[in-house]
Amino acid sequence: MKKLIVKLVSLVIAFILITLITISIMPTLTLKQRGMESYIGENVNVYYEKENEAAYDVFSCAEEQITQLREKLEVEIDDPINIYVYDRQETFQTKKYGLFVRYIDLEWYVGDNVKNEVILTSPASEGLLYTYDSMVEITLHELVHAMNYLINPKLSLWINEGVALYLTNGNPPRYLLDYYSDTPSLKQMQTSNPIAFANMGGYDFSYTYIKFIDETYGWDYVLKLMSNTDYREVFGKSEEVIYDEWISFLTIHYTEQAVPVND
């Protein structure tokens, strides 16, 4: 009898957990909200809820800049990229991670991509950490992520973010090594956890990593690394050697006594 009761309790608990997980992930099953309107363009389609003026600013910015970004990344786009703009930051966050994200403090998290589509909090949303104009610019950052996915769906978080920041809205502190107590280790650079990435200063350091490769080896090597993560094939050097060279680059250009880095 006890075994039967334990089995029944286990089944009930399992059912409850499955139900909770199912409910949590439901927002991620479709990016489109009921009643969304749209702006349809040659290169992007923007779907929005009620903040139509903000959505149009996102649409205009994306349509104007995407060609330049696409040429820089040397990526072919067969169909317009879809951008979904949500009036509330909470709605945006659940589209990526489900309802459980509500229990995590992610005030800084306002835009992302889901494969080759973009999801974004409306620039008109209240209570954001960012200005209206910077929110519009974040659209371009997320567009790069969407195009990066077309280049390499398995691109590392470090390279993916570094490229997007370098081409759009990256702005690390001038005295980066004085600002942070630690520089990300080679092992930390391999993380796929966005929170760990943010906490180690990844949004600043990954920018400088791409800048280092571009200025030292050339943009072609950035593109090669995006497609082929084998450092020896791309550079003829190990990843450890490239890491050490990057640290030297930081020491030369990103301390208070440093040589100003080219902007």
Going along the chain from its start, the domains and CATH numbers come out as: 21-151 (3.30.2010.30), 154-263 (no CATH)
144-154 pLDDT, tens digit each = 999 999 999 99
**Residue 16 is encoded by which pair of tokens?**
């409850």
37-67 pLDDT, tens digit each = 999 999 999 999 999 999 999 999 999 999 9
Region 109-132: mean pLDDT is 96
- Angle of helix 202-216 relative to helix 219-227, nearest 10 degrees? 120
pLDDT band at 4 (very low <50, low <70, confident <90, very high): low
pLDDT band at 263 (very low <50, low <70, confident <90, very high): very low
Distance (Å, whole) CA 192 – CA 156? 7
**Residue 47 is encoded by which pair of tokens?**
């779907």
- Angle of helix 157-167 relative to helix 132-151, nearest 10 degrees? 130
**pTM of the model as a whole:** 0.88
Distance (Å, whole) CA 204 – CA 48? 30
169-222 pLDDT, tens digit each = 999 998 999 899 899 999 999 999 998 999 999 999 999 999 999 999 999 999
Closest CA to 144 of 127, 165, 114: 165
Region 3-21: mean pLDDT is 60
Residue 131 pLDDT greater than 50, yes or no: yes
Residue 28 pLDDT greater than 80, yes or no: no
Residue 10 pLDDT greater than 70, yes or no: no
pLDDT at 17: 60
53 sits in which H/E element: helix 52-73
- CA 131 to mean position of chain CA atoms: 18
pLDDT at 255: 86
Distance (Å, whole) CA 58 – CA 91? 18
Distance (Å, whole) CA 159 – CA 151? 12
pLDDT at 12: 59
pLDDT at 30: 85
Region 1-5: mean pLDDT is 66
